[in-house]
Amino acid sequence: MQSFKGLNIKESVLSVLSENGYSNPSPVQQSVIPSALRGESVLAQSPTGSGKTHAYLIPILCRIDTKLPRLQAVIVAPTRELARQVYDFAMPFAKADSSLRVRLFSGNNNREADEEGLGPNSQPHIAIGTPGRLLDLFSSGLLNPKEVKTAVLDEADMLLDMGFFEEASAILALFSNPQVLVFSATLKEHLKSALAKYVKADLRYEGGEIKTASEVSHHLVDVRHRERAAAAAELLRIKRPYFAIVFVNKKEEAAQVALRIRESGFGVVSYTGDLSERERRKTMRMIRENRYQVVVASDLLSRGIDLPDVDLVVSTDVPSDLDFYYHRAGRTGRFGKNGDSYVLYDMGEEQRAKALYEAGVPFDMLTIKGGQLVHDPKGLGIHKGQKRQAYEDDEKREIAIAKARHSGKSVKPGYRKKAKLAVEKVKRKYRRKAISKAIRKNLSRKK
Ligand code: AMP
């Protein structure tokens, strides 16, 4: 395996890496760092936990001229939590080099604090922030885009899903001929086409199709007539995790679930959109200090946040969409560790659970009996080898039409490929619909 030393990285950056116990670059770092050091633009499909933040931070740190008091790199992240996480990863480098200035602009609702100290000759070298606040600071002239040579879009699929793409692209448009580094858990067609105008990628890195590490095992648990909160508590008693995240679909349910888990003797905290920015930061700090064994969370915690020692993820109900599920399950099994993801369901949710299974999540079917997790031979009523069936009538009909259009009696060359593409297009359409619906629902819940 190649070491960081062979990658042409500045000595001062190398020593921070080794002080922090990073000895070898991860695959995304190995591919991206050399290209980014040459100033090339990169489009990388690389989920959180793969080491993607350092894949862009390291080349940025190497290319910055700290003697020049100008803004030289801008990192755009979709949420405050993610922006702070990037900032926290950058901090050891700033501490080791007193001439390096890194600032976080994620607007903890305090605009004045963000504006403080910004002047024509006192610009940070690296600005990390959420799109709205960064754009504000550029528009009001407090941040100067002139010398920016690198722009990063982190979690680009999330920027797009959350409706921040316009702001993010307006930021990119401020820089003249920048190096653009895009990182995204998924690189779907609609994201690629949205990006096409802004990124002429010299390097495309695809870190594999699977969105959660293969070290994650997926389980569906039929709770039968048990109450969800009680079933979640029982599962925790059975599994005895080192650190678990219990996801709830509705943030209103978090308190009740946390209470049941607390009654079972676990140290537990809730992390939902109800917390103020300050409370969120405080809670996150305490979570990182290992003060709790269990966090009950809404999907706010499912995307991007890096909590390295999660060995168990429980969804108390079926996530509304495959992407949401993968983001939840992706909190565990990070950096080569093992993890388990359990989804609780009952009869009322069987269709949604089935949809996840049919979309390819390799679930095993379980139920809780006599205080133990046991195999459920009747789980979802699906038996191995049974043909997976489309579950949406409309989708089924459109797929049939697409197939019919591209087959027929006169078989033209390439018809199989064309039919396949047409069917994929229909499937994508329905997936997009489901995602937009889920996100709209999720955002309106958070309001
Ligand atoms: P990401 O969210 O993809 O940036 O991954 C972040 C996690 O990977 C953090 O826990 C980092 O400390 C860890 N990490 C990043 N690069 C390395 C590396 N080369 N060796 C070990 N851990 C790393």
Instruction: Tell me the C-alpha distance between 42 and 153, whole Å.
Output: 10
Pairing of strands 244-247, 294-297: parallel
Q: What is the pTM of this model?
A: 0.63
Q: What is the mean pLDDT of residues 152-171?
A: 90
Separation of 193 CA from ligand 1 center, angstroms? Answer: 29
The one-character DSSP state at 347 is G
3-state secondary structure of 136: helix
Task: Say which range, 214-218, 266-270, 304-308, has the weakest mean pLDDT.
Answer: 304-308
The one-character DSSP state at 38 is T
Separation of 334 CA from ligand 1 center, angstroms? Answer: 9
pLDDT at 383: 39
The one-character DSSP state at 162 is T
Q: Where does ligand 1 bind, in terms of residues with CB under 6 Å?
A: 22, 25-26, 29, 48-54, 306, 308, 335
Alpha helices in 330-414 (DSSP H): 350-358, 393-406
Q: Which amino acid is at 276?
A: S
Residue found by looking up tokens 């949809």 in the block: 355
Separation of 435 CA from ligand 1 center, angstroms? Answer: 28
Instruction: Tell me the C-alpha distance between 210 and 70, whole Å.
Output: 40
Tens of pLDDT along 67-92?
999 999 999 999 888 898 899 999 99
Confidence of residue 427 (pLDDT cuts 50, 70, 90): confident
pLDDT at 212: 54
**Exposed / middle / buried, residue 168 (Cβ in 10 Å: 0-12, 13-18, 19+):** buried
Instruction: Tell me the C-alpha distance between 447 and 445, whole Å.
Output: 6
pLDDT at 329: 87
Q: Residue 170 has which token pair?
A: 């307006």
Residue found by looking up tokens 């537990």 in the block: 268
* pLDDT tops 70 at residue 304: no
Tens of pLDDT along 188-233?
788 888 888 888 888 888 875 444 555 788 999 999 888 999 999 9
Q: Which atom of ligand 1 is nearest to the CA of 335?
A: 8
Nearest to 44 by CA among 21, 63, 71, 26: 26
Instruction: Estimate the crossing angle of helix 393-406 against helix 415-446, to 10 degrees.
Output: 160
**Residue 215: CB atoms within 10 Å:** 14
> What is the sign, positive or negative, of the torsion defined by CA atoms of 162, 345, 331, 50?
negative
Atom 20 of ligand 1: nearest residue by CA position? 22
pLDDT at 219: 93
The length of the chain is 447
Q: What is the mean pLDDT of residues 39-60?
A: 91
Alpha helices in 97-173 (DSSP H): 111-115, 131-139, 156-161, 165-172
Instruction: Tell me the C-alpha distance between 415 and 337, whole Å.
Output: 44
Instruction: Please choose from 31, 32, 54 the residue to mutate so as to test ligand 1's pocket, defined by most ligand atoms within 8 A of CB.
Output: 54
Separation of 89 CA from ligand 1 center, angstroms? Answer: 9
Nearest to 310 by CA among 297, 322, 323: 297
Residue found by looking up tokens 């199709």 in the block: 209
**Residue 274: CB atoms within 10 Å:** 15
* pLDDT tops 70 at residue 334: no
Instruction: Tell me the C-alpha distance between 367 and 373, whole Å.
Output: 6
Measure Cα distances from 411 to 286, 358, 397, 414 in Å. 64, 30, 22, 9
Tens of pLDDT along 360-403?
788 889 999 988 999 888 887 653 333 334 345 667 767 777 77
Q: Could you tell me how many helices (H) and strands (E) the chain has, helices first?
A: 16, 15
Q: Residue 441 has which token pair?
A: 């629902």
pLDDT at 431: 67
Separation of 17 CA from ligand 1 center, angstroms? Answer: 11
Instruction: Please choose from 5, 9, 18, 22 the residue to mutate so as to test ligand 1's pocket, defined by most ligand atoms within 8 A of CB.
Output: 22
Instruction: Please choose from 4, 14, 61, 335 the residue to mutate so as to test ligand 1's pocket, defined by most ligand atoms within 8 A of CB.
Output: 335
Pairing of strands 179-184, 150-153: parallel
Q: Which DSSP string do the residues of 173-193 spell out, in sequence order?
A: TTSSS-EEEEEES---HHHHH
